[in-house]
């Protein structure tokens, strides 16, 4: 009882610190939501107002006529889900080879994969763009999707998780005449669902927010993703801030939904040995 009483002030201090951090994190999102329904004159009013007396709910309908937001949203869904699915397939295959198969030079090849993590993505933009342009993939889905179909980080993440699967289980499957494909599909993948869920969330959030690559590989409005379409609302001399915040709220919604429903898989995938390995 005495020890619990001594720890109570510490618990309250930790709670206050965490609450303050949560408010700081949520603050910009709350302000974005508030701005999305404000009349334009109230956006920069001083002192600022959080709630407006004249909410402009029509902004959530006007955004679809001001820019091709619906098509851009659909493009983002297609591109993001395709990249996420391809990364799960390709990275899990590569991770299985590095974790569960023995071949000459395995560790050396894996070090090359890890070396790719140290290359800034900006360095590869120009070579990738030249390749995509040569193939005639400008303003195409394959040009937006295929350069991101593989992830060195995803391979590393899954490889570390696959390393935690008991070797005895895989050896027992081999004694039952299971080949690598059966072991991969029916033993390794079902056991690695937490890590696959974590990678799916990483890939989805990263590609949904991707701006630079869609910006340089799309020229037609009907092929723009939602991040590029929203940038067209910003002008050199004037920006429609309520409309821009409206589009931003709609763009953030899928990420919040994905994380709300997948946060358990995300946390367990990161804490159940994903970065441990042997």
CB 228, CB 72: distance < 8 Å: yes
Angle (deg, nearest 10), helices 241-271 and 69-100: 20
- The answer, yes or no, to whether residue 212 has pLDDT greater than 60, is yes
pTM of the complete model: 0.85
For residue 185, give the 3-state DSSP assignment.
Answer: helix
Residue 235 in this model has a pLDDT that exceeds 80: no
Q: Can you name the residues that pair with 234 across neighbouring β-strands?
A: 239
* For range 180-190, the mean pLDDT: 91
Q: How do the domains of the chain map onto residue ranges?
A: 59-271
* CATH number of this structure's domain 59-271: 1.10.3720.10
User: What is the chain's mean pLDDT, rounded?
Assistant: 86
pLDDT score at 149: 93
Let me know: does 161 contact 269? Beta carbons within 8 Å: yes
Q: What is the structure's pLDDT at 249?
A: 92
**pLDDT at residue 72 tops 50:** yes
pLDDT, tens digit, for every residue of 34-58?
Answer: 888 888 888 887 787 777 778 888 9
- pLDDT higher than 70, residue 70: yes
Residue 122: Cβ-neighbour burial (10 angstroms; 0-12, 13-18, 19+):
exposed
Q: Residue 149 — φ and ψ, nearest 5°? A: -70, -15
Average pLDDT score over residue span 108-117? 86
CA angle 156/113/259 to nearest 5° reads 35
């Amino acid at each position: 009882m005495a020890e619990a009483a001594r720890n109570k002030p510490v618990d309250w201090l930790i709670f206050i610190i965490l609450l303050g951090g949560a408010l700081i994190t949520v603050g910009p999102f709350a302000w974005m939501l508030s701005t999305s329904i404000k009349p334009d004159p109230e956006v920069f009013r001083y002192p600022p107002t959080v709630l407006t007396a004249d909410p402009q709910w029509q902004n959530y309908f006007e955004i679809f006529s001001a820019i091709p937001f619906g098509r851009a949203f659909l493009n983002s869904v297609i591109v993001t889900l395709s990249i996420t699915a391809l990364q799960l397939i390709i990275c899990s295959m590569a991770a299985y080879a590095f974790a569960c198969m023995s071949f000459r030079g395995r560790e050396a090849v894996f070090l090359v994969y890890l070396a790719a993590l140290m290359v800034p993505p900006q360095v590869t933009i120009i070579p990738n763009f030249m390749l995509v342009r040569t193939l005639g993939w400008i303003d195409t889905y394959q040009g937006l999707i295929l350069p991101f179909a593989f992830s060195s980080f995803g391979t590393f993440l899954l490889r570390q998780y696959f390393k935690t699967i008991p070797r005895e289980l895989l050896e027992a499957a081999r004694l039952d005449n299971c080949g690598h494909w059966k072991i991969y599909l029916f033993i390794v993948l079902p056991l690695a669902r937490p890590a696959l869920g974590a990678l799916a969330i990483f890939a989805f959030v990263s590609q949904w927010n991707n701006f630079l690559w869609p910006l340089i590989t799309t020229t037609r409005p009907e092929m723009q993703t939602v991040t590029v379409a929203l940038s067209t609302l910003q002008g050199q001399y004037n920006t429609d801030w309520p409309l821009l915040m409206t589009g931003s709220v709609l763009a953030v919604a899928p990420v919040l939904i994905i994380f709300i429903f997948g946060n358990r898989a995300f946390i367990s995938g990161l804490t159940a040995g994903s970065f441990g390995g042997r």
